[in-house]
Amino acid sequence: MYDRSAANSGRHVAGGHDGLSADSSKFDFAVLQGSRSDIDINEMQKFFEIILLPYMSKADTDPVFLDVEYLLPPVFLLLAVEAVHNAKFGARNSRPHGSLQGGLTVVDVGAYAGHFGFASLSLWDAIMETGPRWPSVGLPSHVAPRRAPIYVSPPHVVAVEPAHDLCAALQEPTWNTTRTLREGSFRIGPRPTGSLSAVCSAALDVSGASVLYCPGRETASLGFNAQQDLLTGFQEPCNRSQEARIITLVELAAEHQIQDITLLKVDAEGSDPLVFYGASELFAARRIRFVLFEVGYQWRERAEAIGRHRTSRYETAIETQLGRVLEFLWSRSEHTCFLIGPEVLVPLLPPWSIGPYAQHEQSFNVFCAQRHDPVLPGIIRLYTVTPRATQFALAAVPPASVLEPRCWACYDLEMADVKLRRLKLEADEYFTVVHRRLLRKGWFLPHFLFVHARSLQTSGDVDAALRVYDTMQGAWPGDFEARREAHRLSSGQTKLLLRNGNCAVKNLKWLSLMNRTTVSDLIVSSVHLARIHMRPGSGVAFGASHSCAAERWHRVAANLGDPGAALMAGLSAQLGLCSATMTAEGAWEALIWYLMAIRHADSNANGMEPADDKYIAQYANVMIDLLERVHGTDLRST
């Protein structure tokens, strides 16, 4: 929730039910109900595409969408649980396949200033220190929270960074200092129990030596000056270059005696596929457990620049490059991958589609794990907030088939909406404790500050959240988002939206008498109110009421003539985002909204760009086709 007005709006619109109230047990049943047919992959796929569309098209932005650090707490919590369990109960030969057997090893390729490595070390310490408060969703059924200290090998981070000055800063023995970059400053706390080793090299598919142009910049590139070749229009000229050693990850593991890599993070400014190809032997031997990497326009631009320096044709399409990487990871070690969206993990491995995401210019991060990894389902449940997104993402892991994903969680009473929200609330409260501990120990990393401010915002303590946002001025990379959230809180924007939205509700019957400008203003207010209730960071405590509030405001905007709102109202009815169940009746109601979306798009009465209306009409038609396939009926004529 973005201010007290939004919070009150959510509770009021939903009639006071918040999904965790005393009488919520009446919703404690499986999601699929009555005569509703099974959910197939196409229906799940379109759900993910539609909820991500505002972010992929850059109509809306959210820091969760770009920062892999939001996924780290769930990953490290489950690794800590596993490590403690193995240390206390498990002999080596009785541990599950893929489980943590020794110390945690993180390899950070493209470490830059070390944000990721520092976050990994400090999070591990904080999680191990808060063992008695571990949430139940992170614990196996036979494991109780940790009450007494158990020794577990401390983590080790290997930071790979070719830029000389950045690597030298990572090698600096004095930790408790303020680190200054040209984008801003951040502070790191006392050295934790683990260690960080800096390797002043670049990782690619073939070892050797090269020239690093524009070191430390977004246009940093090996072997050619990307800033000149790409003509990207950067105002700041870059004339610097330096020699760089190139190694493969296989060589890195041998030189530093790394037996297994628990987490491999790659941010190689478009050269990420080459990093993976240089680790082929490690993947084949299943020595790399989890993988995080960034996908974006740099992939295409680097490929275009490389192509100009090669005589053979070089593939530049992001979709093709990403498809090859996913196939490579699956064929070598059965890694299945997910797009890290705003509080949602979206399956990418075929038969799931990558096209709708890779065709946009919006960058995104990808998380991969071996499909049968014992902690993967827990990571999905701890990171994902919306129950339907959780249930659909779990369709990409066992017991579902690889080639025929099935929403098995939709039939599981333990995966009912209320139970998922209750467990997620417990986890969020625990991670709030972790971040507070990190700040008390002096770890003022931008991501930690931003997450802490968002948790204060979610709890309703707006004044405290504003104070934290104020401390982040110049703290790259969270500075822009902090200023945006502070403006949203202090400007009273939500109150103005509520006034316009309530005006829309009261005057729907006079719609035919309103001029186009007035209708457009009411549509904008209603759609923005729906987005406020759906936006990441609003917390799970009022998740059910927020879903119902969003549905109501989408219906208001749809009745005013907005095709996108009609599409979202149909999606909510079809998948039971408010009702907590998917029924045949909901599917029929969704049909009405989808037909309305098509009608509004054809009339262009909302003033949107024709291309946007066409896109929405296409999605509405696809959803109707899916409903007809599921029910075996010509719904349009009916």
pLDDT tens for 352-399 read 988 888 877 778 899 999 999 999 999 999 999 999 999 999 999 999
pLDDT tens for 302-344 read 777 666 655 444 567 888 899 999 999 999 999 999 999 888 9
pLDDT recorded at residue 237: 58
Asked whether residue 40 is assigned to any structural domain, the reply reads: no
Please tell me which residue, 229 or 187, carries the higher pLDDT value.
Answer: 187
Per-residue pLDDT at 235 exceeds 90: no
Most confidently modeled of 9-18, 94-103, 272-281, 481-490?
272-281
Q: Which residues contact 276 (CB under 8 A, 6 or more apart)?
A: 266, 283, 291, 293, 325, 328, 329
Per-residue pLDDT at 12 exceeds 70: no
Q: Which residues contact 387 (CB under 8 A, 6 or more apart)?
A: 31, 415, 416, 417, 420, 421, 543, 580
Q: Please tell me the distance from the alpha carbon of residue 80 to that of residue 162, in angstroms, as a whole number.
A: 31
Asked whether residue 626 is assigned to any structural domain, the reply reads: no
Q: Please tell me the distance from the alpha carbon of residue 381 to that of residue 298, in angstroms, as a whole number.
A: 31
20: confidence class by pLDDT, cuts 50, 70, 90: very low
Asked whether residue 165 is assigned to any structural domain, the reply reads: yes
Asked whether residue 608 is assigned to any structural domain, the reply reads: no
Per-residue pLDDT at 13 exceeds 60: no
182: confidence class by pLDDT, cuts 50, 70, 90: low
Number of domains in the chain: 1
By residue range, what is the domain housing residue 299? 63-139+152-406
Q: Please tell me the distance from the alpha carbon of residue 526 to that of residue 553, in angstroms, as a whole number.
A: 5
pLDDT recorded at residue 380: 96
pLDDT recorded at residue 72: 93
The mean pLDDT value for 250-269 works out to: 94
Asked whether residue 455 is assigned to any structural domain, the reply reads: no
CATH number at residue 282: 3.40.50.150
Please tell me which residue, 266 or 174, carries the higher pLDDT value.
Answer: 266
pLDDT tens for 271-292 read 899 999 999 999 999 999 999 9
Per-residue pLDDT at 519 exceeds 90: no
Round the average pLDDT of the chain to a whole number and report it.
80
Most confidently modeled of 178-192, 370-384, 601-615?
370-384
Q: How many helices (H) and strands (E) does the chain have?
A: 24, 14
The upper half-sphere exposure of residue 383, i.e. CA atoms within 13 Å in the direction of its Cβ, equals: 32
pLDDT recorded at residue 377: 94
pLDDT tens for 523-542 read 888 888 888 888 877 777 78
pLDDT recorded at residue 32: 61
Asked whether residue 206 is assigned to any structural domain, the reply reads: yes
pLDDT recorded at residue 143: 56
For residues 238 and 217, the answer to whether their CB atoms sit within 8 Å is yes
Asked whether residue 535 is assigned to any structural domain, the reply reads: no
491 backbone dihedrals φ, ψ, rounded to 5°: -85, -10
pLDDT recorded at residue 25: 35
Q: Please tell me the distance from the alpha carbon of residue 122 to that of residue 431, in angstroms, as a whole number.
A: 13
Count of residues making up the chain:
638
pLDDT recorded at residue 623: 92
Please tell me which residue, 182 or 465, carries the higher pLDDT value.
Answer: 465
pLDDT recorded at residue 371: 95
Asked whether residue 134 is assigned to any structural domain, the reply reads: yes
For residues 518 and 526, the answer to whether their CB atoms sit within 8 Å is no
3: confidence class by pLDDT, cuts 50, 70, 90: very low
The mean pLDDT value for 144-173 works out to: 79
Q: What angle do CA 239, 245, 246 make, to 5 degrees?
A: 110
* Beta bridge mates, 245: 209
pTM of the model: 0.88
Per-residue pLDDT at 7 exceeds 70: no
Q: For the packed helices 516-534 and 563-575, what is the interaxial angle rounded to 10 degrees?
A: 40
Report cis status (omega within 30 of 0) of the bond before 477: yes
Helix (H, G, I), strand (E, B), or coil: what is residue 437? helix
pLDDT recorded at residue 492: 74
pLDDT-wise least confident of 200-209, 224-233, 433-442, 524-533: 224-233
The mean pLDDT value for 123-148 works out to: 74
Q: What is the 3 state secondary structure string of 590-632?
A: HHHHHHHHHHHHHHCCCCCCHHHHHHHHHHHHHHHHHHHHHHC
Please tell me which residue, 394 or 512, carries the higher pLDDT value.
Answer: 394
Please tell me which residue, 15 or 314, carries the higher pLDDT value.
Answer: 314
For residues 114 and 160, the answer to whether their CB atoms sit within 8 Å is no
Q: Please tell me the distance from the alpha carbon of residue 633 to that of residue 242, in angstroms, as a whole number.
A: 66
Q: Please tell me the distance from the alpha carbon of residue 300 to that of residue 359, in angstroms, as a whole number.
A: 11
pLDDT recorded at residue 10: 35
The mean pLDDT value for 584-601 works out to: 91
Please tell me which residue, 232 or 62, carries the higher pLDDT value.
Answer: 62
Per-residue pLDDT at 611 exceeds 60: no
Per-residue pLDDT at 27 exceeds 60: no
Q: What percent of the chain has pLDDT over 70?
A: 75
337 backbone dihedrals φ, ψ, rounded to 5°: -120, 155
